[in-house]
Chain A
Amino acid sequence: MSQNAKASRFSLILLALGFLFLYLPILILIVYSFNESKLVTVWAGFSTKWYAELFKDQQMIDAAVVSLKLAFATACAAVVLGTMAAMVMTRFRSFRGKTLFSALITAPLVMPEVITGLSMLLLFVSFADWFGIFEQRGVATMWVAHVTFTMAFVTVIISSRLSELDRSLEEAAMDLGANRLKVFFVITLPIIAPALLSGWLMAFTLSLDDLVISSFTSGPSSTTLPMKIFSSVRMGVSPKINALASLMIMLVSLAALVAWWSMWRSEKRRQRDMQLALQQN
């Protein structure tokens, strides 16, 4: 037993080191966003001036607005398409072409972004040529590209929830005469709501974060925040980027915390309800 204890202590130490590796760079980034000096690596006293500078940078703010709108629209569409795809994957008996369908779901998860980005652009150019649509590339083309690569992630999240769901509730509703559509909206959807929320957040952050696919599919008039960050990082490191990074990290952490808390609460409630139901039997 003591050997087991030793083994588990060993793995806990490794875990702690792993977390240190994951979080130390982020902490350093946040600390240095409050640095007085322009040099990112020398500490010269506390200051919030880089935040003030950031909010004066109109181009950066415009890019952030484009990114936030795009991420919002992407996440909404990806959740709808991803839920449909997850229902097909977990609830539908096989049909002709299901193998191809599941390949189309899993391939975008690992497809190198440069390939997705380039081929998407070639599609838009061909569409402009053949049908005269997507002639102006911009937010609309980026939206199509983002929905396509994020919906695969949403599908995975939602189908893992759907496959561990107790089917007896759905079957009971069906036996009582509810049709499939009604069962889905009245029974299934409320149960998988936390998964929809985490899928939505996943698609939102993936879209907000994307540089490569956006660079290929955007037009000259639309610049997203990652594109702006990337071009300014190429010019050199600036504490203004640190300030922006810290804001984004705090925002995402807050959102993640809220999502986690709401999931934890609904899980608790579900367990309590199940226990109550068992006691009443």
Chain B
Amino acid sequence: MNAVVKPRSARLLGSRWLVIAVPYLWLLVFFAIPLAIAFKISFSQAAIAMPPYTPIVNWVDGHPSLDIHLKNYLYLVNDSLYVNAYLSSIKIAVISTILCLLIGYPMAYAIARMPAATRNIALMLVILPSWTSFLIRIYAWIGILKNNGLLNNFLLWTGLIDQPLAIMHTPVAVYIGIVYAYLPFMVLPLYANLVKLDLRLLEAASDLGAKPWKAFLKVTLPLSKSGIIAGSMLVMIPVVGEFVIPEMLGGPDTLMIGRILWQEFFNNRDWPVASAVSIVMLLLLIIPIMIFHRAQSREMEGRLA
């Protein structure tokens, strides 16, 4: 790696910096700065203009004057709609993450224990649905969960129920949709972790008299902690801001903050409030994002001494 620094590589130093600078600048300009702009606009006021908000800095007689409003944040705190939407988004995200973990862990475990040849096919089968349209996979559930949908028709036919179940437009439908859409994001990091597990540890546990179930709890589960963290964060963080699933499967009373933000922006055209909503969401998610970042960068830079 540390090749001797020849005169020629001094010239190549330029190309090294170019390789860093191009993606770095792209991400700074198109990912970091936009968040800073959203932060700035969250302190302005909605106005009937284009763009529809008041400027933060006004130039009066060549002097800048700041025009900062905390109104949007006060609005979020005082209106119970927003507080409830944040709380219910977090609740939905946490419960769906646990459900994904309960379903995804056995799947990842089974795949990791398969012979190598079938393992790749099983893995492909997990990834494949996430490569087909997300919107369409959620749409598929409408036909299944509707009052006169396939699930109700089937249950009525078997005689298990004599009234159709109202699942569509309820939180249950939202949970089904979220678990369905995000399950692959849970299975993949768990699999990547479980497949690396040293099986001799389990043999050792078994030799020392541990039952398989106990060996699982004492050996496998603790060792897969980083996979559990990565998978849970990959599910939980985006679900907090989820818009499509509550919009398509939830009812009008399914409160989720992504939906509120969408309405503030597209229906009310209140860009400053929408910005404040997104900044508060970001602040709530900053610790989970940092946990995910630590797990992920350890994974990516793993072999770089």
Contact = CB atoms under 8 A, between A and B. Distances in A.
Contact of B8 (A40, A160, A164, A179): A179
Contact of B133 (A104, A209, A216): A209
B128 interface: yes
B20 interface: yes
Contacts of A208: 133
A252 to B, nearest CB: 5
Nearest to B302: A163
B19 A88 contact: yes
B237 A112 contact: yes
A226 B135 contact: yes
Contacts of A230: 135, 244
B296 A109 contact: yes
B59 interface: no
B241 A113 contact: yes
Most buried by A among B27, B113, B240, B274: B27
A220 B117 CA distance: 49
B128 A256 contact: yes
Interface string A181-195: 100000000000000
A29 B20 contact: no
B124 interface: yes
B32 A95 contact: no
B287 interface: no
Contact of B140 (A82, A144, A245): A245
Contact of A110 (B184, B274, B292): B292
Interface in B242-271: 242-244, 248, 258, 261-262, 265-266, 271
Q: Is the interface of A mostly helix, strand, loop or mixed?
A: helix
Contacts of A140: none
Contact of B122 (A8, A15, A113): A15
Given A28-B143, A163-B300, A163-B304, A129 B9 contact: no
Interface string A84-105: 1101111110010100011111
Interface string A248-260: 1100110110001
A65 interface: no
Interface in B273-305: 274-275, 278, 281-282, 285, 288-289, 292-293, 296-297, 299-304
Given A11-B106, A84-B20, A208-B133, 19 more contacts: A4-B206, A25-B137, A26-B140, A87-B19, A101-B27, A106-B292, A109-B296, A112-B237, A112-B281, A114-B258, A119-B37, A122-B37, A129-B51, A167-B1, A180-B12, A205-B132, A212-B244, A226-B133, A248-B133
Interface of A: 3-4, 7-8, 10-12, 14-15, 18-19, 21-23, 25-26, 28-29, 32, 40-41, 81-82, 84-85, 87-92, 95, 97, 101-116, 118-120, 122-123, 125-126, 129, 144-145, 147-148, 151, 155-156, 159-160, 163-164, 167, 171, 174-175, 179-181, 201-202, 205, 208-209, 211-212, 215-216, 226, 229-230, 233, 237, 241, 244-245, 248-249, 252-253, 255-256, 260, 264
